[in-house]
Amino acid sequence: MASLKLVVVGGGGVGKSALTVQFIHSQFLEDYEPTIEDFYQKQVEIDGKVSMLEIIDTAGQEEYALMRDTYVRSGDGFLIVYAINMRSSFDEVTLYKDNILKTKEVNTFPMVIVGNKKDLVDKRKVSLDELKDLAKLFQCACIETSAKTRENVEEAYFQCVREIRKAKGLNRSGNTNGLPARPKKKCLIL
C-alpha cells in the first residue's frame, strides 16, 4: 500500500482545518481557531488502489512560514486552499505555488487549487472562471468545495492523490512514465 503525504496550505481563515476535519471525521468545525500544525492519517481506496494518506494541515499565519517550508520539503502533493469570499486569499495562491516550486527546486509539482466556502456563493469575491483560468495557467487541477456542506471535500483530496500518481508516472504495469522496464544489472564479482 502506497503512503502519500498531502500538505494543505493557504492563508489564515480559508478553512484548511475545516476541510481536513470534514474529510477525516465527517464533522464541520464551526469555530475558527488558528492552527499551528495538525497531522492526520486515513486509509482510502481511490480508483481501485489503496493508499495511506498522511495529511498535514499547516498554519496560515505568516509567523509559521518556516515550519510550513519544512512540510513542503516532505510533501508528495499539495492542496492550496483559498476562500471564494476572500479575494486576498485567492491572490495568495500564486505565492504558495511559487514557494512550493522554489522549495522543491522543480518547475511543476502535484497540486490542486481548492476554492473553499462554496456555501457562501452569495458572498463570492472570486469567480469559478478565475479559478479555472489560474489552474490552467499553473497546469494543475482545481475544485470548489464547502467544508460546511461536505460538497467536493473528498474529491479534492482524491484529486490530489490522482495528481501525485500521474506525476510519479505509474502505469498499469507498474513501470514509470510508460517506458519499458530497464533490464536489471547483474552483479559481477571480480
Domains and CATH numbers, the chain: 2-168 (3.40.50.300)
pTM for the complete prediction?
0.83
- Would you say 27 and 58 are in contact if contact means Cβ atoms under 8 Å apart? no
Average pLDDT over residues 52-59: 90
CA–CA gap between residue 23 and residue 153 (Å, rounded): 6
* Phi, psi values for residue 29, rounded to 5°: -85, 115
Give mean pLDDT, residues 12-41: 84
Lowest mean pLDDT among 1-5, 47-51, 124-128, 148-152: 1-5
The CA distance from 83 to 117, in Å, is: 6
Q: Check pLDDT > 80 for residue 98.
A: yes
Question: Which among 11, 102, 115 has a CA at the least distance from the CA of 62?
Answer: 11
Position 135 confidence tier, pLDDT thresholds 50, 70, 90? very high
Beta bridge partners of 144: 115
Residue pair 11/84 in contact (Cβ under 8 Å)? The answer is no
What 3-state class would DSSP assign to 122? Answer: helix
Does the pLDDT value for residue 110 go beyond 70? yes
C-alpha 78/C-alpha 114 separation (Å) is 10
Average pLDDT, the chain: 85
pLDDT in tens, 142-154: 999 999 999 999 9
Rounded distance, CA 103 to CA 70, Å? 9
Residue 165's pLDDT is what?
96
Nearest Cα neighbor of 21 from 47, 49, 42 is 42
* pLDDT of 63 above 60: no
Residues with Cβ within 8 Å of 119's Cβ and at least 6 positions away in sequence, in order, are 146, 148, 149, 151
Is pLDDT above 50 for 179? no
pLDDT for 173 equals 36
- The kind and range of the H/E element at 136 are helix 128-138
Name the residue among 11, 89, 73, 55 with its Cα closest to residue 157.
Answer: 55
